[in-house]
Chain A
Amino acid sequence: MRRNGAEDMSEDDERQQSPRSDLEFTSNKARYCKATGSASDHPDQVLENVLENVLHFLTSRRDRNSVSLVCKSWYRVEALTRSELFIGNCYAVSPGRATARFTRVRALHLKGKPRFADFNLMPPDWGAHFNPWLLAMAKPYPWLEKVYLKRMSVTNDDLATLAESFSGFKELVLVCCDGFGTNGLASFVSKCRQLRVLDLIESEVIHDGTDWISCFPQGESHLESLIFDCVEWPINFEALERLVARSPLLKKLRLNRYVSIGQLYRLMIQAPQLTHLGTGLFSPLEIAGQGDQELDYGTAFAACRSLVCLSGFREIIPDYLPAIYPVCANLTSLNFSYANINAEQLKPIISKCHKLRVFWVLDSICDEGLQAVAATCKELRELRVFPINAQEDIDSPVSEVGLQAISEGCQKLQSILYFCQRMTNEAVIAMSKNCPDLVVFRLCIMGRHKPDPVTGEPMDDGFGAIVMNCKKLTRLAVSGLLTDKAFEYIGKYGKLVRTLSVAFAGDSDMGLKYVLEGCSQLQKLEIRDSPFGDAALRSGLHHCYYMRFLWMSSCRLTRQGCQEIAHAMPRLVVEVIRSADMEMDDFVETLYMYRSLEGPRIDAPKYVTIL
Chain B
Amino acid sequence: MEGSVAYENDLHLKATELRLGLPGTDEREEHAVSNVRNNKRPLQEGGANGKSDSQNETAPPAKAQIVGWPPIRSYRKNNFQSKKNESEGPGIYVKVSMDGAPYLRKIDLKVYTGYRELLQALENMFKFTIGEYSEREGYKGSDYAPTYEDKDGDWMLVGDVPWEMFITSCKRLRIMKGSEARGLGCGV
List chain A positions with a Cβ less than 8 A from chain B: 116, 118-121, 124, 202, 204, 230, 232, 234, 260, 281, 283-285, 287-289, 314-315, 317, 337-338, 340, 386-394, 419, 444, 446, 448, 503-504, 528
Contacts and interface: CB of A to CB of B under 8 A. Distances in A.
Q: Which 9 A-B pairs have the closest CB atoms?
A: A119-B68, A446-B70, A390-B72, A287-B108, A288-B108, A315-B90, A121-B68, A118-B73, A119-B71
Interface in B26-78: 41-42, 44, 50-53, 55-56, 59-60, 62-63, 66-77
Given A283-B90, A394-B41, A230 B70 contact: no
B131 interface: no
Contacts of B52: 120
21 contacts: A118-B71, A119-B69, A119-B71, A119-B72, A120-B52, A120-B68, A121-B67, A121-B68, A202-B75, A232-B75, A289-B107, A388-B44, A389-B44, A390-B72, A391-B56, A391-B70, A392-B63, A392-B70, A393-B62, A444-B70, A448-B66
Contacts of A391: 42, 56, 59, 70
Given A120-B51, A390-B77, 18 more contacts: A119-B55, A119-B69, A120-B52, A124-B51, A202-B73, A204-B50, A234-B88, A283-B93, A317-B93, A386-B76, A387-B70, A390-B72, A390-B76, A391-B59, A391-B70, A392-B56, A392-B70, A419-B70
Interface of B: 41-42, 44, 50-53, 55-56, 59-60, 62-63, 66-77, 79-80, 88-91, 93, 106-108, 110-111
B108 A120 contact: no
A119 B79 contact: no
Contact of A288 (B60, B70, B106): B106
Contacts of A338: 79
B73 A503 contact: no
A120 B71 contact: no
Contacts, number: 90
Contact of A503 (B59, B63, B69): B69
Nearest to A260: B90
A204 B73 CA distance: 11
Contacts of B73: 118-119, 202
B59 to A, nearest CB: 6
B51 A288 contact: no
B97 to A, nearest CB: 15
Contacts of B55: 119-120, 390
Given A392-B63, A394-B41, A387 B72 contact: yes
A324 B25 CA distance: 57
A287 B111 contact: yes
A390 B55 CA distance: 9
B41 A230 contact: no
B107 A337 contact: no
Contacts of B108: 287-288
A593 to B, nearest CB: 19
Residue in A287, A390, A446, A448 whose Cβ sees the most chain B Cβ within 10 Å: A390
Contacts of B106: 288
Contacts of A386: 72, 76
Contacts of A121: 67-68
Contact of B67 (A120, A314, A315, A392): A120
Nearest to A203: B75
Contacts of A285: 89-90
A288 B79 contact: no
